[in-house]
Chain A
Amino acid sequence: MNLSPGQLDHLFQALGDPTRRAILERLARGPAAVSELAAPFDMALPSFMGHVRRLEEAGLVTSDKAGRVRTVTLVPGAFTPVRSWLDEQRAIWEGRLDRLDDYVTRLMKERGDGSGSQD
């Protein structure tokens, strides 16, 4: 996994908040203006913009201002490090079960041989 130091930290921090996850879920359906994104939340606009900034810092979203409207867009591939980390964890545990299987099978064979039984 090629991660700059702290990149995964930023991602997990950005994802560790229900407001920010809700923003991402909305953006999964397509880009949205900040005013539209903020509408469902009972929150002052500066606080809401703080959440958007955190998502931008984590590289999860970008935003562009055209006139008075700031539009926020999800960044393709931004979740890859999180997914990679989880895939790594899965691979470690799958490997562990492989070795458990091998170990038990070998033990069974040795015991089988020892007692003279046949496969």
Chain B
Amino acid sequence: MTENRTMIIEREIAAPVAAVWAAWSDPKALPQWWGPDGFSCRTSRIDLRAGGEWVFDMIGPDGTVYPNHHLYHRFDPEGGIDYTLLWGENGPKHADATARFADLGGRTKVTLSMVFITAEEYQTAKGFGAVELGLQTLGKLAAFIGAD
């Protein structure tokens, strides 16, 4: 059922894979664009390689601190990046995510996928076992109830 919780976003960037890869794999570069908008990243530890991690706080415009922890399972430009996002250092899992970089000859297609586990789901999972959220079903229902 994980495919129903997966969000996939694609983007073509007018730069070769090497340049896009540099933005992901340079520990000085990554925190500069990771965002979100208006947020800054304060890094505690950063080790960008397979088996490495990034422990950091995202600091919101109002000063709110959101602790984050990424665990990198795969990290190379050809294979891409596979990682787990945690709520805070060694915290509960937020999502499993991947990034893939396709060479379009001077341009790069970046494909991100995220399989989300919400904080609510995490709480729920403790009491109810694995939680499955059927987005296709939700889409059908939403169409029916006019939420689209």
A residues in contact (CB < 8 Å) with B: 8-9, 11-13, 15-18, 21, 24-25, 28-29, 74, 76-80, 82-83, 85-86, 89-90, 92-97, 99-105, 107-108
- Complex A-B: 20 CB contacts under 8 Å: A12-B133, A13-B120, A15-B131, A16-B128, A16-B131, A18-B132, A25-B137, A25-B141, A76-B146, A79-B147, A80-B147, A83-B147, A92-B35, A93-B9, A94-B9, A95-B36, A96-B34, A100-B20, A104-B22, A108-B19
> B22 near A107 (CB under 8 angstroms)?
yes
Contact mask for chain B residues 60-88; partner A; CB cutoff 8 A; 1 contact, 0 none: 00000000000000000000000000000
Q: What total count of A-B pairs have CB within 8 Å?
A: 124
Q: Which of A74, A83, A92, A101 contacts B11 (CB 8 A)?
A: A101
Across-interface contacts of A99 in B (CB, < 8 A): 33-35, 37
> B145 near A97 (CB under 8 angstroms)?
no
> A9 near B23 (CB under 8 angstroms)?
no
Other than A12-B124, A77-B145, give 4 A-B pairs with Cβ distance below 8 A: A29-B144, A95-B35, A100-B20, A104-B19
> B131 near A21 (CB under 8 angstroms)?
no
Given contacts A12-B133, A16-B124, A104-B19, contact A25 B13 (CB under 8 A): no
